[in-house]
Amino acid sequence: MSITDMLSADDIAAALQECQDPDTFEPQKFFQTSGLSKMSASQLKDVFRFIDNDQSGYLDGEELRYFLQRFQSDARELTESETKSLMEAADNDGDGKIGADEFQEMV
């Protein structure tokens, strides 16, 4: 399965273009442009499983750093501050990781 089976390649490219420079990643803008914000709960869980590289059921800081690369392999890594902001935006229970439900709420 590829992310482009779930989202338009053009929408992904546009979303990545908007945040190609370091410290320009804005999660809500990315979710909107990529089409994630228009997906159903079950579709978002499928995307979450795709992003969850180690299939642990959670996204940790390391996986978040490579978040953009899950959408396109040559995308940049998130900066430390972007990774921290993304974690803070979604980690509702403060356990240092993002579960599928937290991801869905954030999107």
Ranges of the chain whose pLDDT falls below 50: none
Question: What is the predicted pLDDT for the residue at 2?
Answer: 87
Q: What is the CATH number of domain 3-106?
A: 1.10.238.10
Question: What is the predicted pLDDT for the residue at 1?
Answer: 75
Question: What is the predicted pLDDT for the residue at 63?
Answer: 96
Question: Residue 84 phi/psi, 5° resolution?
Answer: -65, -45
What's the residue count for the chain?
Answer: 107
Helix (H) or strand (E) holding 98: strand 98-99
Separation of alpha carbons 61 and 7, rounded Å: 24
Domain boundaries, the chain: 3-106
Binding-site members for Ca(2+) are 52, 54, 56, 58, 63, 91, 93, 95, 97, 102
For the chain, the straight-line distance linking the first and the last C-alpha, in angstroms and rounded, comes to 21
Is pTM, for the whole model, over 0.85?
A: yes
Question: What is the predicted pLDDT for the residue at 69?
Answer: 96
Whose CA is closest to 57, among 101, 99, 105?
Answer: 99
